[in-house]
Chains A and B, each alone.
Chain A
Amino acid sequence: GMPVEQNPPALSLYEGADSGLRCNFSTTMKSVQWFQQNHRGRLITLFYLAQGTKENGRLKSTFNSKERYSTLHIKDAQLEDSGTYFCAAPNNNRIFFGDGTQLVVKP
C-alpha cells in the first residue's frame, strides 16, 4: 500500500468549529511534517515532529511513531485556515507525501 494515507480527502467546516486530520503510515517513520498550501500555492510548514505533540496557536499536532500515525487538530477554524493540508514523512532516504486534505472554512 501507499506509505502515507491521509484522510479525509476533503473537509468543510464552519467558522469556529474544531476538527482533525490524520495520516497513517504503512511503516515506522522517524518524523512527520505538516504543511498548509494556501490560495497562492505556497507550501507553509506548520509542524515538524520527531515524537510527541506540538502546539502553535489554534493548531496542534501529534506524532506516534510506534502506532504509525500523526494527527493535525484545528481549533476554532477561521476563514484563513482554508487550503490544502499535507503530511510528509521520510523513509529509506525518501520523503513520502499524503495526497492532501482540502479544507474549506465557511462563514
Chain B
Amino acid sequence: EAAVTQSPRNKVAVTGGKVTLSCNQTNNHNNMYWYRQDTGHGLRLIHYSYGAGSTEKGDIPDGYKASRPSQENFSLILELATPSQTSVYFCASEAGQLYFGEGSKLTVL
C-alpha cells in the first residue's frame, strides 16, 4: 500500500512566523504535490515537483516556497505566515494515481 505521511498534523503559528510542513512518501514516485483546501472548497494546487531538486509553481504559489531535497521528501514552507494561510494542507504523490497524506491543519493567529 502506497504511503504518504505528513507532519505536523496540527499546527498553530503566529503571524509572521515561519512554518514548515513536511511530507514523506515511500512510493518512490517522482511527482509530488501540495494542495490547500479551505472550508467548503475543493483542492487548490500550491506547488508540485517532478523529482528531487525540482519545484514548480502551481495555481496559488504566492506566500509559499517548496523544497524537494530527495525523492521521498517534499516540504512546503511559509516564511512569513499570515492568517489567510489558515487552512488544511494536503500532500500527494503520484504515478498515474494520486496518493494523499492525511492532511495538516494549520491555524495562523
Contacts and interface: CB of A to CB of B under 8 A. Distances in A.
Instruction: Say whether chain B's binding surface is mostly helix, strand, loop, or mixed.
Output: strand
A12 interface: no
Contacts of B97: 31, 33, 45, 48
Interface string A26-63: 00000101010000011101001010000000000000
A97 B102 contact: no
Contact of A41 (B48, B88, B92, B94): B88
B42 A41 contact: no
Interface residues of A, number: 19
Contacts of A45: 97-100
A88 B103 CA distance: 18
A43 B6 CA distance: 13
A33 B103 contact: no
Given A41-B88, A41-B103, A95-B33, A86 B43 contact: yes
Contacts of B41: 99
B102 A86 contact: no
B80 to A, nearest CB: 26
B22 to A, nearest CB: 18
Contacts of A98: 42
Nearest to B94: A95
A99 B90 CA distance: 16
B96 A48 contact: yes
A11 to B, nearest CB: 15
A94 interface: yes
Contacts of A100: 42
Contacts of A50: 96
Interface of A: 31, 33, 35, 41-43, 45, 48, 50, 86, 88, 90, 93-95, 97-100
6 contacts: A42-B103, A43-B90, A45-B99, A86-B43, A90-B96, A95-B98
Closest 3 A/B residue pairs (Cβ): A43-B100, A48-B97, A99-B42
